Structure formats: C-alpha cells, structure tokens
Amino acid sequence: MKTKNLLILLTFVLCSLAATAQVQFNAKVSKKKLGINERLRVDFEMNQDGDNFNPPSFEGFRVVGGPNQSISNSWINGKRSFSKTYSYFLAPQTRGKLTIAQATIEIEGQTYKTLPVEVQVTAAVEVPKDGSNADYVASENVHLVAEVSNAQPYLNEAITVTYKLYVSHDVSITSQWREIDTPKYADFWSQNIDNQNNFKVYEGKYKGEDYRYVILRTTVLYPQKTGELDIEPLTLDVPIDVQGNRRDFFGRRIMERVNKTISAGKRTINVKPLPLEGKPDGFNGAVGNFDFKVSTNKTALNANESLQLDVTVSGKGNLKLFKTPDVKLPNTLEVYEPERIEKVRTSTGGMQGTVTDAYTIVPQFKGSYPINPITFSFFDPKTETYKSITSDEIVIEVENGPITAAQNNATHQPNKQVVLSKDNFKYLMLEANLQPITKNNFFKSPLFWTLLGGPFLLIPLFILAGKKRKARLNDVEGNKLRRANKLAKKYLSEAKRNLSNPEAFYEALERALHNYLKAKLNIETSEMEKSLISKMLMERQVEASVVDGFINLLTSCEFARYASSSKASAQQDYNKAVAVISNIDKQIQ
C-alpha cells in the first residue's frame, strides 16, 4: 500500500515538474541600440496565463505608452496554443548602457522572472526610428549579406561569393522575393550556383543576435585582372510580414505586409599578381592543382592509318581559362587541328574535372617517330609556388608503307643501271593533225567597241556604289545594328540545330536574344537589365504580354546555366522565342 502511494506521489511530482518546465516568460525589445531621441518597444511574453504581473521600474527610461495587453488562444490539430503579452513604449532619458530589469508573474502559484536586457543608447540620430513603424521594423529585421571566401586571391584563383538572407524571429517572409538588380561581375569569369528550388533554413547569428537565414546563391568567380576589383551588389525586393499596431477581435496583432528593397552592398577584393620569381618559360596561366598526361591509343600502325594523341590536364582550378601545351611532331606526320573535350563541373569550390586536346595523326611513311616529352606548368596558390610536370617520350612505329626520299637515297645502289624500254614512250603522239585558224578582223568590230566603251559606261555606277559603300561604312550605329541582327539570326539557327543538346541550345538562344535586343533597341550588353528591357519595349508600344514572354525567355536561359533542362523544354522555348520575336517585329515602333 505504501509503495502504491509512493508511486502516485512520484507521478504527481514528475507531472508538476513537466508542467513547470513548459512555462516560458521572456522579455523582448524592438532593438538593442537606439538614439536618445528614439523610442523602444518592450514585450513581456508568456505561454501560460498568469496573475499579478509586476513590470520592472524601467530606470533610465520614461514610459510613453502602455501597458498594452494582447492574448492569443488557438487550437491546432487538437493542441492548444496560448500567448499573452504586455507591451510598453519607452523613451530613454540618458545615454550609455541601460538595463531593463526583471519582470515577474505568478503562474499556478509559482513566480517566474524574465532575464535582464541591456540596451545601448547613443547620441540623437538625424531621423528618429520608430520601433512601432512597420517599415523600420522590416528594415531592421531582414538583411542580405554577401560573404566572400577570400578577399585577397591571386589572379585566376577561384573565390566564392555566398549570398545569405537573414530574417529575425520577429518577422516572417511568406511570399517569394524578386531579384531587381543582378551583379554583372566585370573583370571576372563567373558561374552562378542558385538554390531557388531547394532552399533550406538555417539557424545562425547576425551581429550577435539569433537569426534564421537561407542561402540564395553561391557564385564562383575567377578574377581576370589584378588590383582592386569591385563586386556589384545583389538587390532584392522582399515582401515582409510585420506585426502592426492594430489588433483583431481577440486582441492579437494584425500582420502588415511591407515590401522592402534590400541590397547586399558592394564588396571589394584585392587581386594579387602571380609572382615573377620561379615562373617557368612555358607557363600559360594555369592556376590550381593539376595532373598532366600525354597518351596515344596506339603506338604501332601502318602508313595512312590514324591514331589519336590526347593531351590531358585534370584536377581543380581554372580549367576552362587556359590552353594546354602545344604538341611538336615530325613534319612527316600529318596532324589535324585538335578537338577540345571538356568534362568540367563547377561547384562551390570552383572548377574541377578534365580538359583534353585530342589530336588526330596520320603517318605517311614507314619509320620510327619519337614524340618528345611535353612540359605543363601551373601555379599552386596553396603553396604559392610554380610546379611543372613533364610527360614521357612516346615512339610511334609505322611498320608498313612507302619510304621517304631520304630513306630511298640511303638504300640506293650507286652502280645500278637504268634500262629504258620503247614502251616508255608509247603514250606520246608522234603525228599531229593540225588545222589552220581562221583569221577574224577584231579591230573595229562590235566586240571591240563594246569592250572599249563598256568601262566608261560603268564609271557612274561605280561612283554611285562607292558613295553608298562609304556612307554605309560611316554609319557606325547602322553597321552595329545590322551585325547584331545577323548574329541574332545566326545564333537562333544554331539554337535550332542544338535542340537535342539543351545546354548548347540555351547558350545559343541567349546570345540570339541579346543580339536581337541590340538590333531593335540599340543597347549594349552591359545595359541589358530586365527592368530596362521591359521599359524600353513598353515605350516602343510592345504589348505587356509579349514583353513578359521575352523576359521569361531570358530568365529560362539564365536558369539553364545551373539547372539541367529537357529536350521538350528546349523545343517549347524555341517555339516561344520564334513567336515572341515575330510579335515584337510586328508591334515595335
């Protein structure tokens, strides 16, 4: 019996402790740094109803509003959610570090206290920031940050720029943000790695405060110039939900939607030149950590057969930005232009994979042909030294075939006599059947006068054609537009030929669309921002639906850089491109 009572008592104590552990009573401030002419909002929140709420004395502050009480009580999936908040609006009376002391509340006979909160009060600001203003709260609780992996890279060394969107727990983002200004990355080779379809929310710190954040994009950059280079800011239009001052029937604050334009800010990096000390003669700009290999698919063959010689560089670095070493072969080997084979993927760490120059070689004569060793040099930024790799010598044996003149002379016997046969001349015609040529009087004939006067008659035509040609050559803008129009047709045709290869298709389609814009709107590539393109097309009386279709095509091309697309999608986008360009040609004025 005593054991049973003991178990009941123990269960009751454990339940009481569990209930007690679930009680939360916290103090939150709208900001931890403010000017002396600004206001501060303090919220005391609890997740269970209590009695005898006792606020702190607010020493160093003057209470200008409150207490305002709000209660939220809801049931979700059979679970009760309760929240009760006491809010105060305070005006600081002095500068320096001020402490908001503990508040107390009684819940089920137990007294709970908040933790003290420190606030830094500075000199007066030019424009007081109202902590109850939704625009200000939104701007203070959402931040876009560009984190650069290395601010002092070497020339052609990979760096990554990671764009993070930080959101505090006091606001929320329930709608998709919109990109309004994209960095152009002048003087960089760039590759975007977007995460628009696979966002993951992380917990982190922003200026010492608890925040949630998502990684919007990671961009890999390879600087192409030395010195100070600027990375332009990424700018977004973000819809932010903020607790407003109005309340609903149950006393809960009504959320307000605020659209804010936020920017990651410009970043500057200092690109170091590659050192001159120890630089090999054959260095061609390779920066990273690589392996090098020269190989052939066969070393023994007959004349007029072909073999393949592969010059391969593999590893991690700027693989697409340098040329592999040239191959020097004997003149008696027929060598064709190499085929470039790239198997390179770009991740957050930069480019990695292999690049190969594949040479097709056809020997013409019998003999042995050595391929001398080839040296490949690169700069390793981790060790800050140059390294060189030399291939082995390769000997190609041509076993059957004609011999060269030199070989023939070497084997020629000097006393050998040459005997001619009468059949050697049987193909020569010994009896000619000649016919006399009838003499015509060309002088003063119609043909004579035509040939004499024709050039004089053509002189005015040449003068007129020359003037037109000169005017056409002097028409710089016209030539630029005609060239752009020609390129647009060329790349659109190239895109059609590459429908089975979505990556090449979208690359050609994007070039076609850009050149089409150059021809129609007379703008440069650096000016091709989507907002500017939309504005200029609308000004030229193009319908909004057609403009949206054109912008969507540009977006599809950009998205295809970092996400694979199907052949069906490529065909649909090609049909859209033909229709949109046709509609713009009809409507543009």
DSSP state of 524: -
pLDDT at 8 over 80: no
CB neighbourhood size of 234 (10 A):
22
101 — pLDDT class (breaks 50, 70, 90): very high
pLDDT reported for residue 416: 45
Averaged pLDDT for residues 442-450: 76
The CA-CA-CA angle for residues 275, 276, 281, to 5°, reads 125
More confident residue, 124 or 217: 217
Amino acid at 336: Y
Domain boundaries, the chain: 23-129, 136-271, 288-398, 476-587
pLDDT in tens, 349-398: 899 999 999 999 988 888 888 989 999 999 999 999 999 999 999 999 98
pLDDT in tens, 263-287: 888 889 999 999 999 999 889 899 9
pLDDT at 160 over 90: yes
Average pLDDT in the chain: 80
Task: Decide: helix, strand or coil at residue 369.
Answer: strand
pLDDT in tens, 30-71: 888 888 877 888 999 888 888 888 999 888 888 887 788 877
Q: Which fold has domain 288-398?
A: Immunoglobulin-like (2.60.40)
Question: Could you give the dihedral angle defined by the CA atoms of residues 487, 493, 495 and 498, in that order, rounded to the nearest 10 degrees?
Answer: -140
pLDDT reported for residue 422: 52
Q: Which fold has domain 23-129?
A: Immunoglobulin-like (2.60.40)
Task: Decide: helix, strand or coil at residue 61.
Answer: strand
pLDDT reported for residue 288: 95
Q: Can you say whether the dihedral through the CA atoms of 218, 224, 226, 228 is positive or negative?
A: negative
Is 288-398 in the same CATH topology as 23-129?
Answer: yes
Choose from 68-72, 401-405, 546-550 the range with maximum mean pLDDT: 546-550
pLDDT reported for residue 496: 80
Distance linking the first and last C-alpha atoms of the chain: 98
Q: Which two tokens stand for residue 164?
A: 């993070």
pLDDT reported for residue 463: 82
Q: What are the two backbone dihedrals, phi and then psi, of residue 40, each rounded to the nearest 5 degrees?
A: -125, 135
CATH tag, 476-587? 1.20.120
Q: Which two tokens stand for residue 487?
A: 């390129």
The pTM (predicted TM-score) of the whole model is: 0.50
Amino acid at 147: E
